Every structure is written in C-alpha cells, then in structure tokens.
Amino acid sequence: MAAVQKLVGIDDRVKQITKLLEMEVIDEVRIIGIYGTDGIGKTTLAKAVYDRTSSCFDSCSFLAEVNETTQNSCDIRYLQIKLIRDILALDHEDPSCDERMEIFVDIFRKMKVLIVVDGVENQSYLHAIVGDQLHWFGLGSRIIVTSQNEEILKEYDPEKTRTYMVSELDDGQAFELFCKHAFTMSSQYDGLADHIVNATEKLPLAVEVVGSFLR
C-alpha cells in the first residue's frame, strides 16, 4: 500500500486512534470503529494508522471501499479471498485460496494480525469478513473498521470495542488544507478563501477538490 502523504491535522488524530488500539494489551483481540460523514477523512486516518502500526503484527490486510466493492455474495467471497491471501502471504494463483473462510480460521487464530475493513456499512458484510465474535484471529490482533454506520459494531463485546468519531477540521486546519491544494494567493484573497472553506463545511475531501480546481 502506498504511504499516506503528510496531511493537515492528521498527526493528533492518528495518535488518538493508535492509543485506542491499546497495543500493550496482548491477551485480547480488539475492534475499533472510525466513524464520520462521507468525505471527512476516515479512510485517510485508517491508512495512516495502518502504515504506522503494521510492523507490530505478524501479518496485515487492508480491505478498501468494502461497500462499493460488495454488491452480492460473490463480491463478499472476493474480499474473503483477498484477506486470506494477504494474511497468509499466498500467491494470487494459489488454488487453496478458493477454500471456504472457515478452513483458514484455525491458522488465523495462531497469528497476531492487523486488519482494516474500510467503508463498510452493512453489518452482515463485516461479520462475513472478520467474524462476529472476535475469535477468528490470534490474541493481540486488531481490527479497524471505517463506517458512517455508528451501529455497525453493536453486536461485538463492548469491553473489546473502541470508537473514534472524526470531527470536522477547525478553521485554521481547513484554511491550511485549502491553501495547500489551491494556487498561491496573497492575503487580499483571504476573505475569498474563508468563504470557500465555509461553503465546503470543512470536509477535507471537499476542501481538497475545490482547492485543486483553483490551481
């Protein structure tokens, strides 16, 4: 996975999420939900945390844009196979990957893994990919879920569940992000920049897109 570029306001948020992972707890599996509206930066944060912590695990997998990828049971199977290949470092042509997910659970239980399930809104999809009771993976494993659905983790053990709500950028961060992506402007255009930033409701994706159009 390509490294995440340095982004405005990301460091403190990554530290907060990393703290929620409680990496020092090695005798339990934990699942962390990163919530927020579309375009607020959930995926970017998950990628940054993944990049910074993946070396602490036996194996890792990042499953991107699950809701967009998944339309039927065949698509769920595709994601399960990708997870198997990532975790076990299997060749993409290895026929053993075609076996049912349950066949590999005994192997997974011996491994400390990091899994990101990005952009999943359907609880049944999440359960099909990582199970519904956190017993598919070895002790010390961490699962990060990004979603707009704040109820998606409700069936997991609350003592093993952590949540992080992504808030909008503050005025200074939104302005800095806009200026980073827009053309260089003199101070006489600060008012215009403020107006544009407010119009985007300080959503990082919207700020970046509008700023890029003004290059």
- The CATH number that applies at residue 114 is 3.40.50.300
3-state secondary structure of 32: strand
Q: Does residue 203 belong to any structural domain of this protein?
A: yes
149 and 207 assigned to the same domain: no
- 145 and 184 inside one domain: no
Are 135 and 177 contained in the same domain? no
The tokens for 201 are 């409701």
What's the whole-number mean pLDDT along residues 20-38?
A: 96
Rounded to the nearest 5 degrees, what angle is found at the Cα of 80, between the Cα atoms of 77 and 86?
140
Point out the least confidently predicted range of 63-72, 142-151, 183-192: 183-192
Please say if the pLDDT value at position 5 is more than 60: no
- Has residue 31 got a pLDDT over 80? yes
Is the residue at 53 inside a domain? Answer: yes
Residues 206, 154, single domain; the answer is no
- Residue 198 domain-assigned (yes or no): yes
Total domains in the chain come to 2
Quote the pLDDT of residue 3. Answer: 42
Look over the chain and give the mean of its residue pLDDT values, rounded to a whole number: 82
Q: Does residue 177 have a pLDDT over 70?
A: no
pLDDT band at 139 (very low <50, low <70, confident <90, very high): very high
Report if residue 3 sits inside a domain: no
Domain assignment of residue 127, given as a range: 10-165
User: For the whole model, what pTM was predicted?
Assistant: 0.80
